[in-house]
């Protein structure tokens, strides 16, 4: 990652952390941009004696949040999530997203669904005209009968590969696998999302539609917003 890209991510993450207020329950996203928000929230806890509780979207985020000094709870312990801060792999002009590059899409979508405000932080490279134009769509699938499930997914008009890590099949924190699906430019994301989730064995897909309330796009100096 270039220094320019790192600075863009940092500016986005630090800005989003400013929305955290005393007493909030905060959903904590996964990925390289979300870690900057977690870092800044941790600083605010130490410097301002800020009292909040966090809900992590992955095991990785749990570790980072604990290191930052953020008190963590489980979703079932929270009456509400006031604010969630997370990254994205693509953002289109309607503020729809592709997520799942970090493998946490299922937990991220559950947390997003249960949040009063959902803030997305990205660098400018993630902003696209059409979803799917620069990033394959992640689809979390059951680890059993992968070939059968992937065949049905490909029947919807994509080519797909099972994600691997260090030469082994990638496993999500939930014990499932991920299909990375190349649909090209996705013209009807809502229909595609519905069709994917109707396939038995598909757990969830990485299309996050009509969910984001605010997009913060980091720049070398400052940021810009989509609302």
Q: pLDDT, tens digit, for every residue of 177-197?
A: 999 999 999 999 999 999 999
- Judgement on whether residues 121 and 147 belong to the same structural domain of the protein: no
| pLDDT single digits (tens) 191-223 | 999 999 999 999 999 999 999 999 999 998 899
Total domains present in the chain: 2
Section 150-157 average pLDDT: 98
CATH number at residue 175: 3.30.70.260
**C-alpha 59, offset from chain centre:** 14
Claim to verify: residue 61 and residue 35 sit in the same structural domain: yes
Which residues, 6+ apart, have CB-to-CB distance to 163 below 8 Å? 103, 138, 169, 170, 177, 178, 179, 180
Distances in whole angstroms, Cα of residue 157 to Cα of each of 62, 100, 148, 152: 36, 20, 15, 10
Q: Are residues 23 and 105 in the same domain?
A: yes
- 66-97 confidence digits (pLDDT tens): 999 999 999 999 999 999 999 999 999 999 99
Give me the domain span that covers residue 190: 137-205
Q: Tell me the H-state helices in 59-188.
A: 59-68, 105-113, 146-154
For residue 222, the domain's CATH number is: 3.40.50.1360
Q: What is the pLDDT of residue 227?
A: 85
Q: Indicate if 117 and 42 belong to the same structural domain.
A: yes
Same-domain pairing of 67 and 149: no
- Specify the pLDDT at position 119: 98
Same domain, 34 and 101: yes
pLDDT digits over 49-64, tens only?
999 999 999 999 999 9
Name which of 120, 119, 116 is nearest 82 in CA terms: 116
pTM, to two decimals: 0.95
**Residue 104 and residue 140: Cα distance in Å, rounded?**
9
108 is known as an active-site residue: yes
Q: Please name which of 84, 91, 123, 98 lies closest in space to residue 224, comparing C-alpha atoms.
A: 123
Position 1 confidence tier, pLDDT thresholds 50, 70, 90 = low
* In a shared domain, residues 196 and 105: no
Domain identity same for 142 and 38: no
Looking up tokens 């008190």 gives: 71
Of 90, 108, 140, 204, the active-site residue reads 108
């Amino acid at each position: 990652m270039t220094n320019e890209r790192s600075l863009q991510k940092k500016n986005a993450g630090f800005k989003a952390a400013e929305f955290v207020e005393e007493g909030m329950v905060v959903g904590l996203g996964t990925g390289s941009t979300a870690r900057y928000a977690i870092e800044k929230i941790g600083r605010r806890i130490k410097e301002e004696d800020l009292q909040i509780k966090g809900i992590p979207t992955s095991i990785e985020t749990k570790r980072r949040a604990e290191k930052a000094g953020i008190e963590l709870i489980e979703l079932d312990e929270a009456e509400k999530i006031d604010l969630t801060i997370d990254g994205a792999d693509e953002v289109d002009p309607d503020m729809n997203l592709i997520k799942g590059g970090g493998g946490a899409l299922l937990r991220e979508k559950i947390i997003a669904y249960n949040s009063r405000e959902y803030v997305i932080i990205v660098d400018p490279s993630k902003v696209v005209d059409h979803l799917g134009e620069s990033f394959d769509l992640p689809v979390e699938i059951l680890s059993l009968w992968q070939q059968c499930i992937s065949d049905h997914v490909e029947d919807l008009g994509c080519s797909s590969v099972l994600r691997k890590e260090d030469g082994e099949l990638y496993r999500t924190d939930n014990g499932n696998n991920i299909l990375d699906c190349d649909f090209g430019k996705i013209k009807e994301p809502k229909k595609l999302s519905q069709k994917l989730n109707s396939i038995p064995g598909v757990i969830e897909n990485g299309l996050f539609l009509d969910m984001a309330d605010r997009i913060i796009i980091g720049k070398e100096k400052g940021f810009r917003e989509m609302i």
